[in-house]
Each structure stands twice: as structure tokens, then as C-alpha cells.
Amino acid sequence: MSGTPGADVVAELLGAWRRAFDGHRVADIVSLFSEDALFQGIGPDLRTGPEEIAEYYAVVPEGTRAEVEVLGGIRLGEGTVGGFADVTFTARTGETHPVRLSIVAERARDGWLIRQYHAATRR
């Protein structure tokens, strides 16, 4: 599935997300999401929009890193892409947390933005 149409968009977006995440640059992470993005991270809270997404990432301990493996993507329509990725978060202590991401991205004026983000623990 990694060679499917749309996988390049998912890889580009999640590559930028990983670099910002690893640098603990919350504003850069938030800039990758649309203004009305739907966000479900690890945990029970459903979030919408930049302020709530920023609150989520602001509490991630500095030094936490992410390894991203894009599993694939598909064009859902004109200017819309969906995709999956496996992400392994590694804390400064070395503890790992494997997650599966599902995203929907839409073309914006200056590139692509994440419109919907869902994370689920994988074991």
C-alpha cells in the first residue's frame, strides 16, 4: 500500500510532523493542521482546532521522539488524501509506545494540511 497514489502526500506531511515533533516545536506541529481539524490522540479527549491541538502537544515531554513508517495513502477526491502510518514514540527513558495513525489531508493554498488525525495504540 505504500506505493499507492496519495502515499507521497502522507509521507511529506508526516515527515514534517515528525521533524516538528522531535524538536518539540508545538507551533510548527499545529501549522500542519487545518483550522477546523478533528484530532483524536492517545487518550479519551476529542479535540478540534489549533488551540486544542497545541494543548495536546505542549504536554509531551521534551526529548520524546517519533519514528514514522507510512503504510500507504489513497486519493479520496479532488484535493483530499487519506492514509495510514505506524509511529513508534520513544521517551527519553527509552520506553516505546507503538501507535497506528490514520489521517485525512486536504490541499490548501500553500500545500497540504491535516484535516483529521486519529491515533490508536498498536501492540
Q: Burial, 105: exposed, middle or buried (Cβ in 10 Å; 0-12, 13-18, 19+)?
A: buried
pLDDT at 41: 94
Cα–Cα distance measured from residue 22 to residue 47, given in angstroms and rounded to the nearest whole number:
21
Q: Is 25 inside a domain boundary?
A: yes
Give kind and range of the element (H or E) at residue 56.
helix 49-58
Q: Is 46 inside a domain boundary?
A: yes
pLDDT bin (cut points 50, 70, 90) of residue 2 is: low
Provide the number of structural domains found in the chain.
1
Q: Is 1 inside a domain boundary?
A: no
pLDDT at 3: 58
Cα–Cα distance measured from residue 46 to residue 38, given in angstroms and rounded to the nearest whole number:
8
Q: Residue 104 belongs to what domain range?
A: 7-121
pLDDT digits (tens, 9 = 90+) for 37-79: 999 999 889 999 999 999 999 999 999 999 999 999 999 998 9
CATH of the domain at 117: 3.10.450.50
pLDDT digits (tens, 9 = 90+) for 80-113: 999 999 999 999 999 999 999 999 999 998 899 9
